[in-house]
């Protein structure tokens, strides 16, 4: 497998470099485009969250500002947040208190830089990649940057000097550390299949196989998705800001725009995770049901279409984030930890072994890396998904509230009680 990965890297011929002026202008345009789309998208996401939550609860949602859909509501919220009084409580650690929102915001914005949002455009000046920074380290960069976001939250909790904020920060760090491992592990099968961490290569691999990774690596996708929910602190993993227990968790003491920074970074993280899920498992900007070869030149029309397709896939996951939020209740802390460490991590590790052995077997059998290869993997995945969600998922993935005792547990409990009764005979019956 390692040799295959190295071969893939060696064979990936780099594009001829663009003229400096074209490179500079195209990069600036892409930066401005990605940044503004992310920011406007985040603003609209807050509206989407309110609208969808309202519709799910049979309400109408914001409809007073900007027409029936309340399209100007994010602008009104923004103006409100800028105009609001900013309180700086006397008991906070001021430098860290000010630093924390920035630390939450910057990684959230940075992570979107490496995600390819469209097919490369063969312009008359050369091939322009539709990504701000075409990093060779690919999703490793995204994972590294998104995991920095936890510092903002932990520092916010610590600097607030407030017990609820501190608890929120602690929970967040524990949660992020636990789920980051499962997230990283769930991406190793993707790496095995693509032989490269570069996101564009992963998209090309999915396109050449004519099967998206969600079909060939279903369990990986599931683990990645759950970990992404945990990493972005979205329900059912919103323990860091659990309103009912911790008031607002790590951002209890924040107000005005400093407070806004936290939701903005949360939504930006959501957008990044959605884009990453679409890229890694749903073929990215690859236009479904087309058999075009992505390595050859494509017209500007196809580039725009691929950007639209990528946007649609990302929007679907954003909708999924919101949909799940308004469906599921929050986990208990022990459920969160046991899901992360006792199910997701072992499942991810076992899945790596299974996929690696399967690919080794298929390679030995002399099967070409193509559609049939993918179909065999799909068949194995159907079995694995059945095992995971029908056989394993019987109160084991998430421990249910009432807890079903096994005969062994019952015997142990009885032994303990009998020993107690023996020690203090007056209390026993």
Binding residues for other proteins, per CB under 8 A? 52, 54-60, 323-324, 326-328, 389-390, 393-395, 397-398, 400, 402, 404-405, 410, 413-414, 417-418, 421, 428-429
Based on the number of CB atoms within 10 Å of its own CB, is 152 exposed (0-12), middle (13-18) or buried (19 or more)? Answer: buried
The residue written with tokens 């990302």 in the block is 314
In the complex, least distance from residue 327 CB atom to other proteins, rounded to whole angstroms: 5
Which tokens hold the place of 217?
């690596």
Cβ proximity to other proteins, 2 vs 390, nearer residue: 390
Helix (H) or strand (E) holding 68: none
d(C-alpha 157, C-alpha 103), whole Å: 13
Cβ proximity to other proteins, 367 vs 385, nearer residue: 385
Cβ proximity to other proteins, 84 vs 414, nearer residue: 414
In the complex, least distance from residue 387 CB atom to other proteins, rounded to whole angstroms: 12
Cβ proximity to other proteins, 82 vs 323, nearer residue: 323
Peptide bond into 303 cis (omega under 30): no
Quick check: 299 and 118 in contact, CB under 8 A?
no
The residue written with tokens 């064979």 in the block is 11
DSSP letters along 384-412, please?
A: HHHIIIIIITTTSSS--SS-PPPHHHHHH
Cβ proximity to other proteins, 360 vs 421, nearer residue: 421
Cβ proximity to other proteins, 345 vs 358, nearer residue: 345
* DSSP 3-state of 247: coil
In the complex, least distance from residue 421 CB atom to other proteins, rounded to whole angstroms: 6
Cβ proximity to other proteins, 327 vs 357, nearer residue: 327
In the complex, least distance from residue 388 CB atom to other proteins, rounded to whole angstroms: 8
In the complex, least distance from residue 120 CB atom to other proteins, rounded to whole angstroms: 36
In the complex, least distance from residue 63 CB atom to other proteins, rounded to whole angstroms: 8
d(C-alpha 420, C-alpha 429), whole Å: 11
Residue 82 has φ and ψ, to the nearest 5°, of -75, -35
In the complex, least distance from residue 237 CB atom to other proteins, rounded to whole angstroms: 13
Quick check: 233 and 173 in contact, CB under 8 A?
no
């Amino acid at each position: 497998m390692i040799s295959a990965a190295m071969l893939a890297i060696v064979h990936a011929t780099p594009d001829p470099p663009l003229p400096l002026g074209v490179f500079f202008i195209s990069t600036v345009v892409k930066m401005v485009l990605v940044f503004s789309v992310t920011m406007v998208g985040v603003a609209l996401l807050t509206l989407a969250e309110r609208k969808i939550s309202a519709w799910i609860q049979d309400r109408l949602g914001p409809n007073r500002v900007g027409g029936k859909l309340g399209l100007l509501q994010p602008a009104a919220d923004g103006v409100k947040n800028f105009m609001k009084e900013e309180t700086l409580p006397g008991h906070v650690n001021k430098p860290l208190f000010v630093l924390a929102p920035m630390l939450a915001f910057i990684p959230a914005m940075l992570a979107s830089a490496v995600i390819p949002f469209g097919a490369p455009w063969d312009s008359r000046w050369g091939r322009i990649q539709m990504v701000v920074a075409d990093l060779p380290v690919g999703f490793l960069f995204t994972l590294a940057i998104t995991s920095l976001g936890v510092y903002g939250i932990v520092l916010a909790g610590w600097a607030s000097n407030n017990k609820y904020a501190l608890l929120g920060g602690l929970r967040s760090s524990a949660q992020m550390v636990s789920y980051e491992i499962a997230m990283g592990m769930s991406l190793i099968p993707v790496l095995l299949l693509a032989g490269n961490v570069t996101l564009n290569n992963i998209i090309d691999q999915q396109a050449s196989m004519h099967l998206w990774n969600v079909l060939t690596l279903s369990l990986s996708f599931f683990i990645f998705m759950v970990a992404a929910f945990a990493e972005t602190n979205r329900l059912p993993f919103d323990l860091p800001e659990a309103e009912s227990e911790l008031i607002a968790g790590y951002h209890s003491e924040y107000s005005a725009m400093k407070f806004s920074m936290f939701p903005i970074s949360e939504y930006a993280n959501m957008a990044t995770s959605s884009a990453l899920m679409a890229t890694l498992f749903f073929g990215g900007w690859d236009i479904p049901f087309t058999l075009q070869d992505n390595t050859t030149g494509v017209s500007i029309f196809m580039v725009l279409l691929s950007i639209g397709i990528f946007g649609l896939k990302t929007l679907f996951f954003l909708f999924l984030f919101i949909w799940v939020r308004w469906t599921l209740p929050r986990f208990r802390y022990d459920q969160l930890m046991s899901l992360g460490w006792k199910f997701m991590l072992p499942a991810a590790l076992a899945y790596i072994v299974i996929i690696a052995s399967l690919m080794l077997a298929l390679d030995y059998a002399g099967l070409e890396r193509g559609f049939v290869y993918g179909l065999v993997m799909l068949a194995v995945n159907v079995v694995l998904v059945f095992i995971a969600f029908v056989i394993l998922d019987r109160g084991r993935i998430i421990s249910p509230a009432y807890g079903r005792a096994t005969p062994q547990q019952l015997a142990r409990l009885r032994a303990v009680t009998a020993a107690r009764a023996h020690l203090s005979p007056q209390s026993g019956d």
